[in-house]
Structure formats: C-alpha cells, structure tokens
Amino acid sequence: MYFGCEVLESIPQISRLGKKPLIITGKHFVYFTGLLEKIQKKLENISIKWAIFSDVEENPSVKTVEKAAQAFKGQGCDFVLGIGGGSAMDTAKAVAVLSSNSQGLNKYFGEELVQNPPCPIALIPTTSGTGSEVTRFSVIVDEDNNTKKTIASLSIMPDIAFCDPSLTYTLNPYLTASTGLDALSHCIEGILSVRANPITDILNKETIAMIFRWLPVAVKDGKDKQAREQMMLSSLVAGVSLNCTGTMLGHGMGYTLTLDWSVHHGYASLMFLPQIISLIRERYAQRVEVLDKAFVGDFANRKVENSEGKIIELMEKINLKPSLKTIGIEEKDIENLITRIEKNSQRSLRNIGFKFTTQDIEQVVRKTAGS
Ligand SMILES: [Fe+2]
C-alpha cells in the first residue's frame, strides 16, 4: 500500500507482480489528464511491456469483464493494473478471476466461490469513496437479470495499491460529493452490520469524523490538498472495515436507483439511510446509539443528537438531498420502484441484525420520496 502525492514514483514496484500487465481503465480520465502517458513512461523505464483495455463503463457489466479477459489472454498478459474509480478497479479484479478460472463470471458471484488463485492485482484509484483499492469485493452488473452482483473473495484483495490524492484534484464537485457519500455509507452500514466488531467500530467512527470535516471542503475546493488527502484516506480506511462488515440495506436498496435511474453509486447508497436509521432506531437501539456517538461525539454533558439529522446537515453542505423527488422520481414511479428494490435488496437483508420486512422497505421508500 502506497499513500501520498508522490507514490506514482513507486510504480516500478509492480515489476514483482509479473512481466506484462493489462491496464484496465475507462475511456477518458487517463487520457485527458496525461496519467496514462506518465505511467507508460515509468513502465518503459523498467522495460515492462503492457497492453490496454480502456472500455470500462460506469457500473461495468459481465460482458465488459469477459471482453477484457479475452484481451488479457490474447495479449499474453500475466497481471492486471486497474486505474480509475470503482468501475475500473472492480473490472480489474473480475478479470483477474477469469485469468485463472475458466467458467463464466456468473459462477464466481457470491462468497468465496473463486477456485483457482487469480493473477496478481495492482490498482490506482482516481476517486475517493469506493475503497475497492483495499477490498475483497468486485461488484459487476449482471445485465441478463438487470441486477448488481458481487464477487466476495480474499483471493481478489489487491497485491499493490498506489493511492495518490492528487489524482482526484480534477474530480468535479458532484462526483466528489457522491463518491464521498459512498465512503460514508460504508461507515454507517459497517456500524449497523451484524458483522461489526470493536475494530471496525473504531475505524468507522474515525472515518465518519474525517468525512464530516473534509468532504464539504473537497467539494468546495477540489484542489485543497489536505481535504483530498483526508478523503482518500477515508475511502481507504472505510474499505478496510468493509472487508469485515460488508454493506447492508443502504447499498442493497440503492442498487435499483443506479440500475434503473442512473443515480451515481455513492449518492444512491446514501439515499435511503436516513429513513432506514429512523425506522430501526428503537428495534436496533444499541447499534444506532453507537452510530449517533460516531456522528456527534461521546462527551459528557453533551446532548447526543441523531445521525439522521447530521447526515442531512452534511448533505446540505455538499448540495445533495436524500430525496427521490430531486432525482426525478415521481409518485407514479413508486410502486414499480418498490418492487424492484425488494428484488435487488434481498442479499443485503442477510447482513442485518434486526427485523426488516417488505412493509419496512415500502415505508422507507415512501418517506424518502416525500422528503
Ligand atoms: Fe459502495
């Protein structure tokens, strides 16, 4: 793990992973920022040949992963170098799985279903939120079933990650805000997860404080060095915790907003959390109290406020609202939305320590619609 504004100087370290990487990235960022050229020069300096697949779309599909895996094999590559946000990094991990496992990608969705060890994985994040640079997850869209699926396996933990906050300086305010909310939702869901433990609680509490302080600064001034550093750190630390806790209802319910309404992953994952927290406040009081303390501190003589209010306060500062109306969802869309959310959030229901019924899902959606 390399962290800091000079870490790309350490790129030659990837030579210990293999002889020829497939660079996996999106269509634009690495080109218009000159990043690709910079990395290619460094690889040439150490006589490493490379191939490139730059067709990763936002929310990558099984088809895209399979195309990239063909390129990997056709070009004689022996490791992957993913450069970009969660989409490019998750694609790189999934390609690594297919590099050594011959069945279709669908066979590897689920917990620890990867049989043969994947090829080595190097990653360079260019956003701050997903945490993919340190996680054992790869989330891919299964277009046949119009849903998101996850490969969860320790075997796809990255071998090397180069985390350079300066790569996020050009990220626009909306993507800065939304990716930051992704990291925040990882923390909140981590605290509420049935798999939370004292270590993940410490990581998530610290990270919530960092995000609360620095996300509005990063949204306001994208070139603020300290804010960008703190947000990249937040993403990373939340990702470490995510490996233990997984996500739960915020992500599970948000998937449909991304699939059907093209809402960015981070904003979508946070959308329903204020109403979810409100609804479970009494039935899951002990963990909600931990969350409240994370948001407002645990000082004597200080009245503990509620997390929902603090989340909304933060969102106002970054010009986003937990409201379906603001993303164009109207009353007439709600029935269909509820049906789709019920289908897409089933897996996340397994990761909660409280009862949550389909009526609860409906209530959360309706309250978020009207707020
Ligand atoms: Fe996420």
Q: What is the predicted pLDDT for the residue at 228? A: 98
Interval 210-234 mean pLDDT: 97
DSSP letter string, 21-38: EEEEEESSHHHHTSHHHH
Pairwise pLDDT comparison (148 vs 72), residue with the higher score: 72
Tell me, in angstroms, the distance from the centre of ligand 1 to residue 300's CA: 34
Tell me, in angstroms, the distance from the centre of ligand 1 to residue 190's CA: 11
Q: Which two tokens stand for residue 62?
A: 């099984």
pLDDT digits (tens, 9 = 90+) for 293-303: 998 765 555 55
Tell me, in angstroms, the distance from the centre of ligand 1 to residue 193's CA: 14
Tell me, in angstroms, the distance from the centre of ligand 1 to residue 45's CA: 36
Radius of gyration over alpha carbons of the chain, in Å? Answer: 20
Tell me, in angstroms, the distance from the centre of ligand 1 to residue 178's CA: 10
Q: What is the predicted pLDDT for the residue at 171? A: 95
Alpha-carbon distance of 131 to 11, in angstroms, equals: 20
Q: Which two tokens stand for residue 347?
A: 């897996």
Tell me, in angstroms, the distance from the centre of ligand 1 to residue 320's CA: 17
Tell me, in angstroms, the distance from the centre of ligand 1 to residue 49's CA: 33
Tell me, in angstroms, the distance from the centre of ligand 1 to residue 251's CA: 7
Tell me, in angstroms, the distance from the centre of ligand 1 to residue 16's CA: 30
pLDDT digits (tens, 9 = 90+) for 26-44: 998 889 899 999 999 999 9
Tell me, in angstroms, the distance from the centre of ligand 1 to residue 303's CA: 31
pLDDT digits (tens, 9 = 90+) for 235-259: 999 999 999 999 999 999 999 999 9
Tell me, in angstroms, the distance from the centre of ligand 1 to residue 204's CA: 14
Task: Encode 327-355: b = buried (16+ Cβ within 10 Å), e = exposed.
Answer: bebeeeebeebbebbbebbebbbebbebe
DSSP letter string, 266-283: HHHHHHTHHHHHHHHTTT
| 307, 291 Cβ separation under 8 angstroms | yes
> pLDDT class for 345, splitting at 50, 70, 90?
confident
Tell me, in angstroms, the distance from the centre of ligand 1 to residue 74's CA: 32
Q: Which domains does the chain have, with CATH numbers?
A: 2-167 (3.40.50.1970), 185-369 (1.20.1090.10)
